[in-house]
Amino acid sequence: MLTVLSGTLEPTATYCRRSWVWLSTGSGEAVVPRTGEVVPCLGLLWITVQHRPRRWYELPHTTGTLPAYFAKKPAGVEVDQYAVEELEPEQPGTRLFALLNIHDREQGEPYRVTVGGVNRCRCLAGVCRVPSGCKHRSAVIALIEAGALEESRELVPY
Ligand SMILES: [Zn+2]
């Protein structure tokens, strides 16, 4: 069954807008375009974030001398697409998900996102405990709340 859901996430200190789209075809797998590999997954997750406008022009040492390029530069938008798979949790009472960025060659291993109990993500922002949190964890929690990640399958041990 085809399932498409979408929603927004709370803005953060870094991003003024964050949103997600979920697509599940029910096939239980997806192709990773960068490798051609077929991976098991519950569905595909797009996360879009928009950076807050750059405020460099407010720094005292640049006042009045800023090149027009910077003043006119639009706030950047980033879109990432992940294959999401649920794994056997490390601790009871939690759920563990693997988010594999299917386009980013820099990401070797999927980010492991734990929710319930201590919510955490093993991405750079998640490990570093950025105060505003990471988009992976926020999106997975939103997916659970939207009913996209029902517990119904045998889980793959990590
Ligand atoms: Zn993360």
Q: What is the residue extent of each domain of the chain?
A: 3-56+68-145
pLDDT digits (tens, 9 = 90+) for 76-135: 899 999 999 999 998 888 999 999 999 988 887 899 999 988 788 888 877 766 666 799
Mean pLDDT of 139-143: 96
Cα 152–chain centre separation: 23
Residue 47 CA to ligand 1 centre (angstroms): 11
For 78, residues 6+ apart whose C-beta sits below 8 A from its C-beta are 48, 49, 50, 51
How far is the centre of ligand 1, averaged over its atoms, from the C-alpha of 70 (Å)? 29
pLDDT at 144 over 90: yes
For residue 95, report the phi and psi dihedrals to the nearest 5 degrees.
Answer: -125, 145
The Cα 59–Cα 56 span in angstroms is: 6
Q: Ligand 1: distance of its center to the CA of 61 in Å?
A: 34
Distance (Å) from CA 96 to ligand 1 centroid: 13
Quote the ligand 1 centre to 112 CA distance (angstroms).
Answer: 8
Centre of ligand 1 from the C-alpha of residue 62, in Å: 33
Q: Determine the distance separating the centroid of ligand 1 and the alpha carbon of 60, expressed in angstroms.
A: 34
In this predicted structure, what is the pLDDT of residue 68? Answer: 45
* 6 half-sphere exposure, CB direction, 13 A CA radius: 6
What pLDDT score was predicted for residue 64? 53
Partner residues linked to 50 by β-bridges: 17, 77
